[in-house]
Amino acid sequence: MASRSSNSNRTRVGKYELGRTLGEGNFAKVKFARNVVSGENVAIKILDKEKVLKHKMIGQIKREISTMKLIRHPNVIRMYEVMASKMKIYIVLEFVTGGELFDKIASKGRLKEDEARKYFQQLINAVDYCHSRGVFHRDLKPENLLLDANGVLKVSDFGLSALPQQVREDGLLHTTCGTPNYVAPEVINNKGYDGAKADLWSCGVILFVLMAGYLPFEESNLMALYKKIFKADFTCPPWFSSSAKKLIKRILDPNPSTRITIAEVIENEWFKKGYKPPSFEQADVSLADVDGIFNEIGDSGELIVERREDEQPVAPVTMNAFELISTSQGLNLSTLFEKQMGLIKRETRFTSKSPAKEIISKIEQAAMPLGFGVKKNNYKLKLQGEKTGRKGHLSVATEIFEVAPSLYMVEVRKSGGDTLEFHKFYKSLTTGLKDIVWKTGDEAEERKGGDGPDGVVASK
């Protein structure tokens, strides 16, 4: 039963209490949640059932989810269970606290070859294991590579990543739903492709970025970018060892029939250095919940009931201490205070002492002159850019949380478009909000030894 407890204004889905949004796209939203029975933190991916039905994807999703439930691997995000209401599908996933692997590159510039190799080995372990179970990722990119609290790589969205590709009307051309830089030439070609070979190409691009600190194929013009990818027109920087260069060139072979295979990568001398095969055990897994989620006409007892959306909250959601800490990477409290240079995130935040309603109207006033349309829903705003940017229209979601009496945290998240454009937009937006912004996330990071997370408890 999904409901809101009157004192905390929270939505409940089954035994999970939903919290802040961790990420969103055209097709799904991911929310932080807490199992109220065990106290365990999880992430819940919420899919729109109507879109799934409309695009005739039930068979595919059911197959992918069933396989994902069976996958237990130390380098793949674990799927715990699946639930459904009449309108939505809820996929309960492991909540990983160490942030994205690529945050390391953004802050350090690039990784040393040994460290890059360690992460690449874990990535190949995950990809190879899933391929052996008939699951292909089809959308390997930085956002899908997470780290747990111990720094272990976890690939997210395995088997679910292909879902948004089906939703768009333009076939496979958009491929990665925003960033084609990681996509194999045969996928862009839209003539059908081998999922295993395409995934390996993406792994090769990821290895290049880990060691170089920049992309092998980068052009602001999409057609020029495609030409480079089709010809595999890239140059390895001089600091790559000759054996790493050779391996990357064999992976980034534009002809899938001559491209190295994952089995050959695992036997490669450069790859094998310091390699530790993963150790894990298989567990008994039930697939009963997967059958239940698409039982449209069957026993409605299998469906959870959602709280109706016409109960308007009278105030922003109050953020508890666990969620506040979860906004920091890795639940490692030192990162609340450390300076992280040059980090361009897809979400950022500022705090304000102004009333919540005033914050909403000020954001609206600041966004419109920047060429953004605004949609309001309680204490959340959707801002949609009117101009087409480098990776489509920039769209931004904002949400207000109460972190203390008369102190609000405003989270601003990119939900579509280019991260660099989002960063520029955020700078312009906060300039227009200077009379209500108490402290921005950037200012908090710039203060050495500050007093709190992203300026939340910092004093001016």
Catalytic residue list: 139
| Buried b / exposed e along 266-297 (16+ C-beta atoms within 10 A) | eebebbeeeeeeeeeeeeeeeeebbebbbeee
Give the whole-angstrom CA distance, residue 108 versus residue 340: 9
**C-alpha dihedral, 303 to 309 to 311 to 315, nearest 10°:** 120
Helices 195-212 and 242-251 cross at an angle (nearest 10°) of 150
Quickly list H helices, 178-221. Answer: 185-189, 195-212
Alpha-helical (H) ranges within 315-355 are 321-326
Beta-strand pair 392-404/317-318:
parallel
Strand, helix or coil for residue 272: helix
- What is the SS3 assignment for 62? helix
Is 45 one of the annotated binding-site residues? yes
344 and 423 in contact (C-beta within 8 Å)? yes
Asked if 261 and 251 touch (Cβ cutoff 8 Å), the reply is no
Nearest to 315, CA basis, from 374, 252, 270, 378: 378
Question: Which residue ranges make up the annotated binding site?
Answer: 45
